[in-house]
Chain A
């Protein structure tokens, strides 16, 4: 069984640029959630994808967008990067059946630095 993987591990961008982060969900999981973890903070929910559609969103602006693919992998896109976007971005996959959500498993994260 393959766990949740994320790429890249680290990334450095400058203000105004765009970034794409990738996540491969754990085998058998159909749902992916993205979280932003700033230094010294707990993870904050960005959004969740289920059946290739956004299924819930946290308090993040529209320049944060995502995709889920038929194989349940996912991308997080951030446009017009700001300094405050510097954080660890975590992807978590889970199995949702009949509205019931099972445990979320987290990937190791992508460390994004915006200069």
Chain B
């Protein structure tokens, strides 16, 4: 069974601060995805990382895939209240099944 562990589970920071959160596994994944989920909504895909060591940027968000394709990180620069939400990482399994981590609840205070 492929498991994804995310840390920290909860994070509350002040607007303008930087933060890094993590997604780790003992299994190798062909790719990893990061989603953001807001209350009352379904997850929305932010990025897919495919190549070991790959770095992708989405405005103030920087995603990195570990060299061994077992882990990933998300770094947010100058966090804003609009970044508040549940951040989920997910990896593909058989039959397009997605295995999700438990998520990281981020709260950015104005």
Co-complex (A, B): yes
Question: Is A72 part of the contact surface with B, judged by Cβ < 8 Å?
Answer: no
Place the interface of chain B in its size category: 20 to 34
Residue from A45, A106, A107, A108 within 8 A of B99 (CB atoms): A45
Is the CB–CB distance between A106 and B102 below 8 Å?
A: no
Contact B102 A56 (CB under 8 A): no
- CB pair B94 A56 closer than 8 Å: yes
Contact between B42 and A108 (Cβ–Cβ < 8 Å)?
yes
A58 touches B97 (CB 8 A): yes
- Interface size of A as a range: 20 to 34
Q: Is the interface of A mostly helix, strand, loop or mixed?
A: strand
B101: chain A residues within 8 A (beta carbon) = 42
Q: Kindly state whether residue B100 has any CB partner on chain A within 8 Å.
A: yes
Interface code B14-29, partner A: CB below 8 Å = 1, 0 otherwise? 0000000000000000
CA distance A104 to B40 in the complex (A): 18
Residues A44 and B96 in contact, CB atoms below 8 Å apart? no
With A and B bound together, what is the CA distance between A48 and B95 in angstroms? 8
Q: Which residues of B contact A (CB under 8 A)?
A: 4, 6, 40-45, 48, 88, 90, 92-103
